[in-house]
Chain A
Amino acid sequence: MLIKILRRDLRKKKSITSVLFLFVFLAAILAASGTGMISKLFQSMDYLFTKAETPHFVQMHAGEINKQEIEDWAMNHPFVSKQQTVEMLNIDGTKLLLGNKQEPEINSVMDISFVKQNEAFDYLLDLENELIQLSSGEIAVPVYYMVRDQLQIGDEVSIINGNERITFTISHFLRDSLMNPSMVHSKRFLVSDEDYQLLKVHIKESEYLIEFLLKDIEQLNNFSQSYQESPLPSGGPTLDYQTFKILNGLTEGVLAVTIIFISLLLIVIAVLCLRLTILATLEEDYREIGVMKAIGINQAYMKKIYMSKYVVIAATASLFGYLMSLWFSPLFTRNMATYLGLVPRNIVDYGTPFVAAFLIFIFCLVCCRMTLRKFNHISTVEALRAGKTGRISKGQGNFPIHKNRFVPINLLLAIKDLFSRGRMYLLLFVVYIICTFIMIVPVNFLNTIQSSSFINYMGIGKSDLRIDLQQSEDMSARFGDILTYIEKDADVEKFTSLVVKRLKVAGSDGRLENMNVETGDMSLFPLEYLKGNIPNKENEIALSYLNSEELNKDVGDILQLEVNGEMKDLIVSGIYQDITNGGRTAKAIFPTDHEQAIWYVISLNLVNDVDVSEKIKEYTKVFHPAKVTDIKGYLAETLGGTIEQLRLLTIIAIVITLGISILISTLFVKMIVAKDSSQNAILRSIGFSLRDIQGQYVMRLLIVLFAAILSGTILANTVGQNFVSALWSMLGAARIEFVINPVHAYLLCPFLLLIAVTVTTLISTNSIANNKISEMNAD
């Protein structure tokens, strides 16, 4: 009996059932995938950390050390199981050439060091998570570079030291449990023991990792305290096992949490849809319920009949979602597989996503049960009296149509319906707002990042042209030549030259860190500052947002910088946004030599009637190999890849948004049409055509859509803008203001939603043609 009713109901309401299924299915896929990712992440991290024998405590130190003293201390310490001191040879990125790339690592903020394989623990592993052993001439490169530069085994890595060039061949890519993630700004390259000795002759700068493996990791805090109290070296930061775990887990973890968040959003939509559908069904079957109650059918049994449909939908959707997540799993864990290596599939990999999908199922059931509590409030007499058309809705008195003289009748009826059933349309309104938000935010941000004003977030002022001269043997001589040429060029209105140097700055923990500092006159092409002003005095410095955060410096604070071999106190004059060079730059006007210059920048404006593109051609030819670009060209070159990715993301967001609006509109319209069947039959009997009635539905949905687009757009331009700023603050831009293309944001996007909703409504209301008053009477 139950199966019969169920089958009939599912057949009768195919579209509504399909949409409900889809929402729960998508939510289940994402929840299962997200939790699956998290479980895989923890397992993979444990696997890598076990294989690598990751140290529990690491003290970094730059400067002299006494190895014997450390070993003695460790040997006598009750908590220590093993101890080793790792020497790292540090080189400047400008001296490193990777693969086929001929340009050195100038823009990179990575601290690059060379090491040999460790003997006791903290092993550097290959892509199979096995210990790497190298022969002379071979090098193992961190996976970060493999992914970033698409390096291959057999490619070359060269170190340029003055006139000398040492070349290695890549034989392995390495996983480094301490420095794997891209957000860790130190990377270890592994060479053979012989090559290490050779490099040691050429590279004078070194740093130490004093590493400890404890007998019991529970003692980590006590051990850390006892190390701090000891006289052992502490000229650098301390790191521990938990930090390594957090750093390794963060990137993938953020992705997994995002996926779970989207799944929660979908499940909220799904549950709202379920609730709406159940309420609509109850209202449709109001009289039947009354009859069943009147003839004494048990209420629990009736609830069971209604529940069974949703149990079947939620169970199949969750189950298929779970199975699909297993199939999708390699896609979601691809990055994790590269950086951490995956443990073989096991019961946990199947179990965790299953639990997530099962929770989705349970959540749906609980919501259905709660909604079905309405059953208890249905009075038999009231239900029987209300008849076939269900309860008389409230709100007849609102918005009387005979008081209106001009508004077309179909529009009047549409508005009246919105007034009398406002709560029902709330679901649609909320989902449309979400859709508008998801669509407009990436569109606006894409437009912002493509606009020339985005230069504000790149730490440079606006100029017609920019000349970048990167490191080469005769860089300073060329720079002089360029300046002489420009000074004599009558087409140039004004220009300024800036020297970028890599200087040592005292970090918050006292350790010296590298920082790119741009020096020169910045007043000609001023920059917008988040706080404070440009440096006007020689003892002032402006910091990029990320530098100010990491160094924990605000406007007015003192910063210590090593200039010409001496530590100098500088006052922070301002903080600006900069996403270039990893977001870590600074600007100062103190006089400087060209000793440590890593590149030069010349910004210039041309007099009015000069053709910029012609000038670019001329300068490119004359100043070769310097890069000459206008602002747009510079933006395209610097952000080209990001813009492409963002464009893809925007397209995906638009497709998802349209998909959700089509699904929710289908569900809503199908449901409401089923609910309104008798009313529509009456309308048709008194002369309303199918078109008229379809028009009313389109108008109702479009009114809701317009209101949602308006609210969604306001939210996108306020909350969305802050959200993007919060995300990009990690890259260096903390206060992004959208540059809006009104055609895209206010015409094209709403138009797409409008078309999707209109077409969906028209298709979904075609069934009104079957609502015949003759059949209603036959009932």
Chain B
Amino acid sequence: MNTILEAKELTKFTGDKESGQILKSVNLQVSEGEFVSIMGPSGSGKSTLLYNISGMDKATKGHVKLDGQEITLLPEKELSRLRLNEMGFIFQQIHLLKNLSIFDNIVLSAYLAENNSRELINKRAIELMEKTGILSLKDHDITQASGGQLQRVAICRALINQPKIVFADEPTGALNSKAAAEIMELLIEFNQTGTAILLVTHDLKVAAKTERVLYMLDGNLVGEKKLGKYQLNKNDLREREELLSRWLAKMDF
């Protein structure tokens, strides 16, 4: 498998060097179509790593390559273009545009990218909504949907431009366990269509469904557990969770 995302010695300081080093020379690789999760205690730097590796925030030192292209030195405009076409984002909080309808929130970035006609974009948005079970909300405002439904909207938005990689920061963190499980199933489905996913989570049940789990502590990636691809409808989830639980116990989680 080709490497889609590669971070080398990624370092981030805020304030003084002693207390403010959030990332300490982090190295990381994500392959095409891979589903990787990052776990770790609060304040370990998981989200910071996600934002720095995706170019959303600027790292102090180090390099990031996306599909072989160095992105740390790219100007803002090109970085935006890259975020638009090659990356998708899903957040814990529902970051949707409040003055747009649900459908408009989904198609917005595709209209900006102009890779397809607006008719085709609308068609793809409807497909995605159908897949995620929110087609009935097409003409609704975002105030008329539940948290779980809005997270599905965010997934549709992240996938509308068919990105190579999706970054997800605690996508199930604000949802109940049933909604969280449904969201994870959707992500697994989309991952199986070839989209790589890098996900940050606290939740063992979520991480157990990913292919590889990285453990972060004090700004360092200190461990890695390969679980292999999780097949939906295959009854090995409990086994994966136990395996991961034991490993995390070893990591003092």
Contacts and interface: CB of A to CB of B under 8 A. Distances in A.
Given A396-B101, A402-B118, A409-B112, A774 B92 contact: no
Nearest to A769: B76
Contact of B141 (A397, A416, A683, A778): A397
A503 B85 CA distance: 89
Interface stretch (A11-19, A689-697, A750-758): A689-697
Interface in A651-693: 678-679, 681-692
A692 B80 contact: yes
B100 A689 contact: no
Interface stretch (B103-111, B127-135, B232-240): B103-111
B80 A688 contact: yes
B157 interface: yes
A388 B96 CA distance: 12
B51 A682 contact: no
A420 interface: yes
B112 A774 contact: no
Nearest to B57: A774
B202 interface: no
A300 B68 CA distance: 59
A388 B57 CA distance: 21
Contact of B80 (A417, A420, A687): A687
Interface string A226-258: 000000000000000000000000000000000
A686 B108 contact: yes
B143 interface: yes
A345 B220 CA distance: 75
A684 B97 contact: no
B98 interface: yes
A773 interface: yes
A389 interface: yes
B101 A773 contact: no
Contact of B112 (A404, A688, A772, A773): A688
A689 B80 contact: yes
Contacts of A774: 47-48, 51, 56-57
A682 B109 CA distance: 11
Q: How large is the interface on B (under 10, 10 to 19, 20 to 34, 35 or more residues)?
A: 35 or more
Interface in B63-100: 76-77, 80-81, 83-85, 87, 89, 91-93, 95-100
Interface string B116-152: 0011001001000000000000010111000000000
Interface in B25-62: 47-48, 51, 56-57
A396 B80 contact: no
Nearest to B109: A686
B251 interface: no
B95 A682 contact: yes
Given A392-B142, A401-B108, A685-B56, A773 B99 contact: no
Contacts of B76: 689-690, 769
A777 interface: yes
A395 interface: yes
Contacts, number: 115
Contacts of A392: 98, 141-143
A707 interface: no
A687 B95 contact: no
B113 interface: yes
A697 to B, nearest CB: 15
Contact of B97 (A397, A679, A769): A679
Contacts of B98: 389, 392-393, 396, 679
Given A396-B142, A402-B118, A772-B56, A685 B47 contact: no
A400 interface: yes
Interface SS majority for chain B: helix
Given A409-B112, A682-B97, A688-B112, A402 B103 contact: yes
Q: Which of A388, A389, A416, A774 has the most CB of B within 10 A?
A: A774
B77 A691 contact: yes
Interface in A531-553: none
A409 B122 CA distance: 14
B99 A396 contact: yes
**Among A687, A688, A776: residue with most chain B CB under 10 A:** A687
A4 interface: no
A682 B96 contact: yes
Most buried by A among B95, B118, B142, B169: B95
B81 A396 contact: no
B169 A401 contact: no
A684 B107 contact: no
A389 B142 CA distance: 13
Given A393-B99, A679-B98, A777 B92 contact: yes
A420 B87 CA distance: 30
A423 interface: no
A405 interface: yes
A404 B111 CA distance: 10
A679 B96 CA distance: 8
A691 B81 CA distance: 11
A349 B125 CA distance: 72
Nearest to B170: A777
Contact of B84 (A401, A686, A778): A686
Contact of B111 (A396, A401, A689): A401
Contacts of A691: 77
A504 B83 CA distance: 88
Contacts of A769: 76
B101 A400 contact: yes
B85 A687 contact: yes
Residue of A388, A392, A402, A416 with highest tally of chain B CB at under 10 A: A402
A681 B107 CA distance: 18
A392 B85 CA distance: 29
A409 B111 contact: yes
Given A686-B108, A687-B81, A417 B99 contact: yes
Best-surrounded residue of B89, B101, B104 (most CB of chain A within 10 A): B104
B242 to A, nearest CB: 31
Contacts of B80: 684, 687-690, 692
B95 A420 contact: no
A315 B76 CA distance: 42
Contacts of B125: 402
B34 to A, nearest CB: 22
Nearest to B114: A409
Contacts of B141: 392, 396-397
B112 A400 contact: no
B107 A401 contact: yes
Contacts of B108: 401, 409, 686
Interface in A670-728: 678-679, 681-692
20 contacts: A387-B93, A393-B99, A396-B98, A401-B100, A401-B108, A402-B122, A409-B111, A685-B56, A685-B89, A687-B87, A687-B112, A688-B84, A689-B77, A690-B77, A692-B112, A772-B56, A773-B89, A774-B47, A774-B51, A778-B47
Interface of A: 387-389, 392-393, 395-397, 400-402, 404-405, 409-410, 412, 416-417, 420, 678-679, 681-692, 769, 772-774, 776-778
Given A409-B108, A778-B47, 7 more contacts: A396-B100, A409-B111, A686-B109, A687-B87, A772-B51, A773-B51, A774-B57
Interface of B: 47-48, 51, 56-57, 76-77, 80-81, 83-85, 87, 89, 91-93, 95-101, 103-104, 107-109, 111-113, 118-119, 122, 125, 139, 141-143, 157, 161, 169
